[in-house]
Structure 1
Amino acid sequence: MSAIKTILIADDSQTERLYLSRILQDAGYQVIVATSGNEARILAETHQPDVIFLDIIMEDGDGYQTCRNLRRQPATATTPIIMVSSKSNPVDMQWAKKLGANHYLVKPYTPGAILAQLTAL
C-alpha cells in the first residue's frame, strides 16, 4: 500500500505522540494526533486516515474498544490499524487481532520497526 499519506496516532502519552509523529513526519507522512480512544474514533471518521496507530491503555476509550468501534463503522472498517503498546503478552496480541488490528508493535520500538509495519501493509 504505497498510497499511504495520512496517519492517525492515538496515544495518551505526549512523549509517545511526539516520538511517533517525528518518525512518520520525517518519512514524509501527514500526521493527525489524538489523546484518547474516543477522540481517535471521531478523528478517524472525520479525516479517514490511511493508517491508524492505536495505543491500548488510554483514558476515555482504550485501544481495544476503539479498534472494535472503528471496525464497526463503514468509513473505517478496512483502514489498517496497528496497535502500539507496552503490553507484550501474546494474549494481548491475539485479542488485538481478534478485534481487527492488522499488526501489533511492542514499546519501545525503533523508527525502523514503525516504517517496516507501514511497508508490510
Structure 2
Amino acid sequence: MLSAQKEAAVIRKILIADDSNTERLNLLHILEAAGFQVITAQSGNEAKALAETELPDLIMLDIIMDDGDGYQACRALKRNAATQHIPVVMVSSKSNPVDQQWAAKLGATAYIVKPYKEEDVLQQIAAL
C-alpha cells in the first residue's frame, strides 16, 4: 500500500526558498531544465505564504535566511494541515550532522549540503 501511495505522488511544482539570489537562480535553472515548474521565495515567511496558496509538490528551504529561517518555516509547514503533506528538502551550507538531525526532527524529508552538484539535487528529488 505504501509503494502505491509513493508512486501516486508526482513532483511537478517546486517551491525554492533561499535569501541568496545566486542560489535561487542556480536551483531554478537546474529544476526548470529538468522540466519542473518552479516558484521562488526569499525568506521562510514568504515560503510559508506561497506554500499555502500555491500548494507545491515539494519545498526546498535554505536554513539561514532573514525574515524566518528554514527551521522555523519547516516547523510551521509541518504543523499546517494545508501543507503538512508536502515533502521538505533542506538545502544548506550547514553540514554538521546535528543540523541534519534537527531538520529531520522538524519534519524535513531530506537534506542537501551546499555546494551541491546538479545530479545531487535531481537524485534527491527522484528518491522522494
User: Identity across aligned pairs (percent)?
Assistant: 64
1:10 aligns with 2:24: no
1:22 aligns with 2:32: no
What residue is the counterpart of 1:81 in the other structure? 88
- Aligned partner letter, 2:54: H
Which of 41, 44, 69 is matched with 2:48 structurally?
41
- Aligned partner letter, 1:81: V
The SS at the match of 2:14 is strand
Cα RMSD after superposing both structures: 0.8
Which structure 2 residue ranges, 5 or more long, are not aligned? 1-6
Runs of 4+ in 1 over 2 A off after TM superposition: none
Shift in Å, 1:86: 0.2
Shift in Å, 1:102: 0.2
Q: TM-score, normalised by structure 2?
A: 0.93
Supply the distance in 2 between the matched residues of 1:44 and 1:56 (Cα, whole angstroms). Answer: 16
What residue is the counterpart of 2:72 in the other structure? 65
What residue is the counterpart of 1:97 in the other structure? 104
Which structure 1 residue ranges, 5 or more long, are not aligned? none
Number of residues of Structure 1 aligned to a counterpart in Structure 2: 121
Q: TM-score, normalised by structure 1?
A: 0.98
What residue is the counterpart of 1:111 in the other structure? 118
**Cα distance per residue 1:47-69 (max 9 Å; x no partner):** 00000000000000000000000
The SS at the match of 1:9 is strand
